[in-house]
Amino acid sequence: MTQYDYDLFVIGAGSGGVRAARIAAGYGAKVAVAEEYRVGGTCVIRGCVPKKLFVYASHFSDEFKHAKGFGWDVGKSTFDWPTLIANKDVEIDRLNKIYIKNLETAGVEIILHRAEFKDDHTLVLVGENRTVTAERILVAPGAAPFVPHNVPGATYAITSNEAFHLETLPKSIAIIGGGYIAVEFAGIFNGLGVETHLLYRGDPILRGFDEDLRKGVQGEMQKKGIDVQTNANVSCIHDHTHDNGGHFTVDIDDKPSIDVELVMYATGRVPHTTGLGLDKAGVNLDGAGAIVVDEFSQTNIENIYAVGDVTNRAQLTPVAIREGHAFANTVYGERPTSVDHAMIPTAVFSQPEMGTVGLTEEQAREKFGKIDIYKSTFNPMKNALSGSDEKTMMKLIVDAITDKVLGCHIMGPDSGEMAQLLGISLRMGATKADFDATMAVHPTAAEELVTMRTKFEG
């Protein structure tokens, strides 16, 4: 009989926490999970899932435009934002209920309150005014949007959290940032007919991805009518919504100010550790406020673990899920499991979409020196009748000595789907010769990946 109320207490019912709780309970542990907002976490409630639904919604404007070449006359189309929001909310409620049911079926107790550390085995349930004890504690509260509050007027801006619940669709928006969220939402708002400005402090957008694709996506976004301003440092946001202007004015260093109905910050997400009382438990944080863990997600305190965005290893849902599962296997399943954070396939649901796995050209050159580049930029078949001039781009980075494919980067429709499958080949160590020996699927865009023969001479 344990001296604690629970074998495992999980803080945060998001992707990582829910997976860990369910698997640990499946191994026979007595588990509780505390959640201060909604079960499902950022990905399900106000991240990946509703975002992808918005992306689908925003594609229709292009589809209607392109339908004509295929003989369709779709007439005059109109868009109703409240319908999209209401339908999205129904789907999110459905998923939220599934998450709750899955936890309950696994025997996990759900506590809909915030939990904070009192000491390394004790948590205060804020709102219930009681404490609970646990043999082990898993910290999985995710991350929260970062807003640079040193910019005057930054508080007027929304973040992605609020973007999912806007009552009305703005006529114009300025999105500050040039990463995943900024680029995805710029495509969403533009596709829904909003005058969209993307203000990024660097050049080109999407730092960290392959440079050719960064430039490619930026160019295509501009062609779609998005005002992408690079080297754009926002210095001040003025609120003129209550006077005749009815807008916000965004001042940008050395560039003309812009007037918009809404301003959104998408400038990264910070580990959600503030106020958790981790200091009372003696848990070490790094300089960015992330919990420091070892390869088994264990902190410096033996009975405290952490998974997901709060550890800042890779802020991606599938990574958090893997970390949660590996933790439960290690601690409760007697199967020590670490997560391999290398070679993570990922997609940016920009328009055009970007799918990528492995090293960028720049990273490969630095690490391997001698590399071969194969790249192809072409008009996808659909453009023949659609009238669209949006290009598809594919790029393979190959180790010139071993012939191993080190990276694969794609810009174009369904590139996220392709990245998922390419991730398997690259993890298995596929060579360029393996790609060449693979029969093409015709007619597809992906066949280009196995038919590129000419090295790119830069």
Q: Which residues bind ligand NDP (CB under 6 A)?
A: 148, 176-182, 184, 200-202, 207, 266-269, 315-316, 346-349
Instruction: Give phi and psi for 8, each to the nearest 5.
Output: -135, 130
99 vs 200 by CB, closer to ligand NDP: 200
The candidate with the shortest Cα–Cα distance to 187, out of 177, 196, 200, 176, is 196
Specify the residue, 269 or 391, whose C-beta has the smaller distance to ligand NDP: 269
Active site (annotated) includes residue 442: yes
Smaller CB separation from ligand NDP, 9 or 265 = 265
Which tokens go with 166? 């806007």
Burial class (CB in 10 A: 0-12, 13-18, 19+), 296: middle
Give the CB-side neighbour count of residue 384, counting CA atoms within 13 A: 3
Q: At closest approach, how far in Å is the CB of 150 from ligand NDP?
A: 8
Write down the least CB distance from residue 149 to ligand NDP, Å.
10
Q: How far is the CB of 151 from ligand NDP (least distance, A)?
A: 7
- Minimum CB distance to ligand NDP smaller for 9 or for 180: 180
> What is the token pair recorded at 400?
């010139």
Nearer residue to ligand NDP within complex by CB, 172 or 312: 312
Q: Taking the complex as a whole, how short is the minimal distance between the CB of residue 207 and ligand NDP, in angstroms?
A: 4
Q: Active-site residue among 165, 242, 341, 442?
A: 442
Q: How far is the CB of 406 from ligand NDP (least distance, A)?
A: 21
Q: Which residue is nearest to ligand NDP (CB)?
A: 179
- Half-sphere exposure of residue 18: CA atoms within 13 angstroms, side-chain side: 25
- Answer whether 127's CB lies under 8 Å from 116's CB: no
Closer residue to ligand NDP, CB minimum distance, 178 or 380: 178
Report yes or no: 111 and 47 within 8 Å, Cβ to Cβ. no
Contact 55, 187 (CB under 8 A): yes
The set of catalytic residues is 442
